[in-house]
């Protein structure tokens, strides 16, 4: 019954996330009809699409290799690490952020890597990715500060302004009472968690999980090949940028756009893909559209191009993910797997 409840929760999360993504996508598409949506696909030079899928595979391979550097002496092959990455991205197309857990499960079953350790190392990867994203955003904001202001005002700024206006009507003692209430609830919640943990029989197991997770989290500081770690990280993000830039060459409307526009679109698209929805659906389209409008294209052109680029990147994840599943099948992984895995 508990397992059924767990699957029901995951299913509901996926459905709600997809519903939100589709609502945002519907809003972004506006009055674009189906015939217009197919225009970029009919005009595209698919040579560059194949090159982009190849770059996606290279980026995943570098990510798999980087994880091996973090894993240290653990006996994991590059093919196993790569398969876990490919399947993880495939799962993320269905359930947001579930790909990381799937990746940990594959590493556990295929190479006996503790889930808590692999989860810690993947968190390290995500932290590195966030740092690269922040660096890209910083470069973009320095180069196109006006675009950052425009995007903020059109998305977050308006809502924050409404909240600030509403809170501005509160008196000082009301705001103070709200602050005290929030602090009190935080303290009470922490105390209840501590008391509950003291009485639970699996406290030791929880501590072991935390310890192994922390070991994975801190593994980056114990790297013997830190230079290769940095080089592979740079290589991953160079591949990501080239995937965006080369897709410009695939369409006549964007073939002559300057490389800086690709940087702008890359930053906007990366933010959209980070949204907690399947494959960044909707969020990617909206942000990339705004970036292209800032560069002089019409909203209609922007949403059509964003739809094409997102579809190609999703296709790459789908094709490579299926390839990862087929590789695991060929190596007999599914015949020896008994899920769920123990930590």
pLDDT at 340 over 50: no
pLDDT digits over 52-70, tens only?
999 999 999 999 999 888 8
Task: Give the residue, 213 or 289, on which the prediction is more confident.
Answer: 289
Contact 280, 310 (CB under 8 A): yes
Write the pLDDT tens digit of every residue in 287-305.
Answer: 898 888 888 888 888 888 9
What percent of the chain stands above pLDDT 90?
21
CB under 8 Å to 188, separation ≥6 — which residues?
none
pLDDT at 216 over 60: no
Q: What is the pLDDT of residue 242?
A: 94
Per the model's pLDDT, the better-predicted residue between 291 and 209 turns out to be 291
pTM of the predicted protein model: 0.72
Looking at residue 332, its pLDDT comes to 73
Report pLDDT digits (tens) over 256-280: 888 888 888 998 898 888 877 777 7
In the predicted model, is pLDDT for residue 49 greater than 90?
yes
Instruction: Find how far residue 204's CA is from the centre of its chain.
Output: 32
| pLDDT the model gives residue 183 | 77
Neighbours of 343 (CB within 10 A): 16
- Cα–Cα nearest to 214, from 291, 120, 281, 297: 120
Which pLDDT value is given to residue 59? 96
pLDDT tens-digit series, residues 235-250: 999 999 999 999 999 9
pLDDT confidence band for 121 (50 / 70 / 90)? confident
Residue 145, pLDDT score:
54
Q: For the segment 145-204, what is each residue's pLDDT rounded down to a tens digit? A: 555 555 555 555 454 555 455 555 555 566 667 777 777 777 777 666 666 655 555 555
Residues 17-43: tens digit of each pLDDT: 556 656 656 655 666 666 777 888 999
């Amino acid at each position: 019954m508990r397992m059924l409840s767990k699957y029901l929760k995951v299913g509901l999360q996926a459905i709600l996330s997809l519903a939100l993504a589709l609502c945002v996508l519907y809003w972004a598409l506006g009055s674009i009809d189906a015939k217009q949506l197919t225009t970029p696909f009919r005009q595209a030079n698919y040579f560059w699409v194949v090159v982009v899928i190849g770059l996606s595979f290279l980026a995943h391979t570098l990510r798999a290799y980087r994880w091996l550097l973090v894993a240290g002496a653990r006996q994991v092959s590059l093919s196993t690490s790569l398969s876990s990455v490919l399947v993880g991205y495939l799962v993320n197309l269905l359930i947001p952020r579930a790909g990381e857990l799937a990746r940990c499960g594959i590493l556990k079953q295929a190479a006996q890597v503790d889930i808590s350790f692999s989860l810690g190392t993947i968190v390290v990867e995500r932290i590195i990715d966030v740092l690269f994203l922040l660096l890209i955003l910083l470069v973009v904001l320095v180069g196109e500060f006006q675009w950052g202001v425009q995007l903020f005002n059109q998305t977050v700024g308006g809502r924050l302004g409404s909240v600030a206006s509403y809170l501005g009507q509160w008196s000082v003692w009301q705001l103070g009472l709200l602050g005290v209430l929030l602090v009190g609830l935080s303290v009470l919640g922490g105390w209840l968690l501590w008391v509950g943990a003291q009485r639970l029989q699996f406290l030791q197991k929880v501590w072991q999980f935390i310890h192994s997770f922390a070991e994975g989290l801190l593994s980056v500081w114990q790297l013997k090949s830190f230079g290769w770690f940095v080089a592979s990280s740079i290589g991953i993000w160079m591949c990501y940028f080239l995937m965006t830039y080369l897709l410009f060459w695939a369409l006549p409307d964007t073939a002559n756009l300057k490389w800086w526009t690709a940087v702008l679109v890359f930053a906007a698209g990366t933010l959209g893909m980070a949204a907690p929805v399947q494959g960044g659906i909707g969020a990617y389209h909206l942000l990339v559209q705004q970036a292209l409008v800032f560069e002089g294209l019409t909203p209609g052109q922007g949403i059509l191009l964003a739809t094409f680029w997102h579809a190609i990147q999703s296709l790459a994840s789908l094709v490579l993910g299926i390839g990862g599943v087929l590789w695991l099948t060929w190596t007999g992984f599914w015949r020896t797997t008994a899920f769920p895995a123990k930590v």
